[in-house]
């Protein structure tokens, strides 16, 4: 105790003296590293969040249209995405903004119900195809590389009516849909993403209530959804690889969402919990595709198997892949798309957690965030922990055989405004962490996309949470877009391939209303915990 106290006093002194009060949170000290010349800088959006025109020119209802039309209370401000940022009509202005930013590449998604209103490829909507053709042509005209997300959460409701992602036949329906996109656009689109954040689709949409279709059939449906989705992904990869890559070239991958998992304390149990979190969440999707062995992570198979047996099910609630399916799915990606926003602290649960049965209950760990981590975001989960980004990139590089990583989303939400100091600071910190990841850790990162180009329909947060580099005035008839300060920061990073001279990795004051107190207390608490 004596030793701990004097060490504590010493650390206190050191920290106060050197002024680098919050350096421990940052991704590394200030440096002169720059981003490689061929590093891809981009911005991301998703159809359902920006396009609007929800029933125009033949588009049918998506599961998100359906959910928010029928349950307005689902969305914080009781809004919907009927008009959103109106990008269906304003795509030329969107491309102009992308040019203003000076980025190399634009990641947008295609709305399945806009292109195939019945859900099936029996009827291809020519006006839907024309919209994306116009957008792609506009990008290519200005030398901006298009990257297409094939599925970013907006399933045609007509397919949901017949089971959506729990219906095994969706593997074929999705393949037909992707084939229509390849046929029409693969000559001009060289980057494809099969799925955006499949864990959100399955775990939250089918196992929970947080995403459409909000099915809440936990313990069963999230596993069925994942099973079909992974097969659909692999099928589309092989289709692209055999039929389109030989004609046009191009790359195809998947975008997985992952928090970094930090052990809550230094105990062996918490270290184990953090590892288990990554294995059973990120690994649930990454292991089948990116690992050498393929298949679900052995630990997940074991955990769900044991629980299912105990719960008197005739078989594991986690479906099994046949050996040939394992083979078919393994290696089906040219790059690892990563969406990353924040970090959690993990510990082992010593009693049952979550609903029974559920993925959370099967895994049995507890996830919290340090209340002292900087935040101030409109999204309460979005704590600013840049070192977590760096560690996650290193983890992926090591775990998945040095696969090229493209960070397909990273960003910060606030309650709006052009003078977005917190977002400017967030990007500074996360890009600094990224520079250290690339140069110091040798993490294999090839690109970075900011989420998002503009304010948009932030799902259950409606228009309350703003992620944009451009402010959208949703009240104005023409959805006026204005560059925020963060847009200027990002365009200067892109132009100089480095961080601004005044960037300070120890400065987290933009996230705090009591800068001095918080910036002093935070690291002390963290260090004290480590002792
Ligand atoms: C991404 O999801 C989406 O791809 C994008 O459409 C979205 O607009 C953007 O990020 C911003 O949200 O249930 O406690 O884990 C982000 C991933 C994971 C973030 C789940 C919110 C909810 C808190 N999301 N998380 S919790």
CA 130 to ligand 1 center in whole angstroms: 30
Q: What is the pLDDT of residue 58?
A: 98
Residues noted as catalytic = 197, 409
Query: pLDDT for 40-81, tens place per residue?
Result: 999 999 999 999 999 999 999 999 999 999 999 999 999 999
In a domain, 422, yes or no: yes
CB of 138 within 6 A of ligand 1: the answer is no
Is the pLDDT at 18 greater than 60, yes or no?
Answer: no
Q: What is the pLDDT of residue 10?
A: 52
Angle subtended by helix axes 282-290 and 386-399, to nearest 10: 30
In a domain, 54, yes or no: yes
In a domain, 331, yes or no: yes
CA 202 to ligand 1 center in whole angstroms: 13
| Domain enclosing residue 105, as ranges | 30-530
Residue 461 near residue 414, CB atoms below 8 Å: no
CATH code of the domain covering residue 202: 3.20.20.80
CA 51 to ligand 1 center in whole angstroms: 19
Query: pLDDT for 153-192, tens place per residue?
Result: 999 999 999 999 999 999 999 999 999 999 999 999 999 9
Q: In angstroms, rounded to a whole number, what is the distance separating the alpha carbons of residues 155 and 337?
A: 21
Distance of CA 296 to the CA centre of its chain: 21
CB of 196 within 6 A of ligand 1: the answer is yes
Mean pLDDT of the chain: 95
Is the pLDDT at 517 greater than 90, yes or no?
Answer: no
CB of 195 within 6 A of ligand 1: the answer is no
In a domain, 501, yes or no: yes
In a domain, 425, yes or no: yes
In a domain, 284, yes or no: yes
Residue 156 near residue 112, CB atoms below 8 Å: yes
Q: Which residue minimizes the CA distance to atom 26 of ligand 1?
A: 381
Q: Which of 339, 453, 463, 469, when mutated, tests ligand 1's pocket best, judged by the most ligand atoms within 8 Å of its CB?
A: 339
Q: What is the pLDDT of residue 15?
A: 47
Q: Please give the number of the atom of ligand 1 that sits closest to the Cα of 46.
A: 6
CB of 332 within 6 A of ligand 1: the answer is no
Is the pLDDT at 6 greater than 90, yes or no?
Answer: no
Section 454-478 average pLDDT: 98
CA distances from 97 to 41, 88, 94, 351 (A): 14, 15, 5, 51
Total structural domains within the chain: 1
Share of the chain above pLDDT 90, in %: 91
CB of 467 within 6 A of ligand 1: the answer is yes
CA 259 to ligand 1 center in whole angstroms: 10
In the three-class reduction of DSSP (H, G, I as helix; E, B as strand; rest coil), residue 78 is classed as coil
CB of 455 within 6 A of ligand 1: the answer is no
Which alpha helices (DSSP H) does 189-335 contain, by range? 198-199, 221-239, 245-248, 268-280, 282-290, 298-310, 323-329
| Rg, the chain, Cα only | 23
In a domain, 23, yes or no: no
Q: Which residue minimizes the CA distance to atom 20 of ligand 1?
A: 200
Q: Model's pTM, two decimal places?
A: 0.94
CA 349 to ligand 1 center in whole angstroms: 24
Alpha carbons within 13 A on the beta-carbon side of 343: 27
- DSSP secondary structure code for residue 207 in this structure: S
CB of 432 within 6 A of ligand 1: the answer is no
In a domain, 18, yes or no: no
Residue 134 near residue 91, CB atoms below 8 Å: yes
């Amino acid at each position: 105790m004596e030793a701990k106290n004097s060490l504590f006093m010493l650390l206190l002194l050191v920290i106060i003296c050197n002024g680098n009060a919050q350096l421990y949170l940052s991704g590394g000290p200030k440096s002169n590293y720059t981003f490689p010349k061929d590093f891809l800088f981009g911005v991301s959006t998703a159809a359902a969040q920006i396009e609007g025109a929800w029933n125009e020119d033949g588009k049918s209802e998506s599961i998100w249209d359906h959910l928010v039309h029928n349950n307005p209370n689902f969305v914080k401000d009781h809004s919907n995405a009927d008009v959103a940022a109106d990008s269906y009509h304003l795509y030329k202005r969107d491309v102009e903004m992308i040019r203003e930013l000076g980025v190399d590449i634009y990641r947008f998604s295609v709305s399945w119900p806009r292109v195939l209103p019945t859900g099936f490829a029996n009827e291809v909507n020519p006006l839907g195809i024309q919209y994306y053709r116009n957008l792609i042509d506009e990008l290519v005209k200005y030398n901006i590389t298009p990257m297409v997300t094939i599925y970013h959460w907006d399933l045609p409701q007509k397919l949901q009516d017949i089971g959506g992602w729990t219906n095994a036949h969706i593997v074929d329906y999705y393949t037909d849909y992707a084939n229509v996109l390849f046929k029409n656009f693969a000559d001009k689109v060289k980057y494809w993403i099969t799925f955006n954040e499949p864990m959100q689709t399955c775990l939250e949409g089918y196992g929970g209530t947080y995403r459409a279709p909000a099915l809440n059939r936990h313990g069963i449906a999230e596993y069925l959804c994942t099973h079909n989705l992974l097969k659909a992904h692999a099928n589309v990869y092989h289709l692209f690889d055999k039929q389109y890559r030989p004609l046009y070239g191009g790359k195809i991958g998947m975008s997985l969402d992952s928090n970094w998992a930090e052990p809550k304390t230094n105990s062996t149990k918490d270290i184990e919990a953090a590892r288990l979190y990554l294995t059973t969440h990120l690994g649930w999707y990454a292991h089948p595709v990116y690992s050498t062995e393929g298949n679900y992570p052995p630990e997940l198979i074991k955990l769900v198997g044991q629980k299912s047996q105990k719960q008197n099910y005739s078989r594991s609630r986690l479906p099994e892949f046949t050996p040939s399916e394992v083979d078919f799915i393994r290696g089906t990606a040219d790059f690892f798309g990563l969406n990353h926003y924040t970090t959690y602290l993990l510990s082992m649960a010593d009693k049952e957690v979550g609903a029974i049965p559920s993925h959370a209950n099967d895994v049995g760990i507890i996830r919290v965030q340090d209340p002292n981590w900087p935040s101030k975001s409109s999204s309460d989960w979005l704590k600013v922990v840049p070192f977590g980004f760096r560690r996650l990139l290193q983890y992926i590089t090591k775990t998945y055989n040095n696969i090229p990583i493209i960070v397909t989303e990273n960003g910060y939400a606030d309650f709006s405004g052009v003078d977005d100091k917190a977002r400017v600071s967030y990007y500074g910190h996360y890009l600094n962490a990224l520079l250290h990841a690339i140069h110091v850790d040798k993490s294999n990162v090839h690109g970075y996309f900011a989420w998002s180009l503009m304010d948009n329909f932030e799902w259950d947060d409606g228009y309350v949470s703003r992620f944009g580099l451009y402010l959208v005035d949703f009240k104005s008839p023409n959805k006026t877009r204005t560059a925020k300060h963060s847009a200027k920061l990002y365009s200067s990073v892109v132009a100089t391939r480095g961080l601004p001279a005044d960037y300070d990795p120890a400065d987290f004051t933009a996230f705090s209303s009591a800068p001095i107190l918080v910036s002093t207390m935070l690291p002390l608490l963290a260090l004290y915990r480590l002792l």
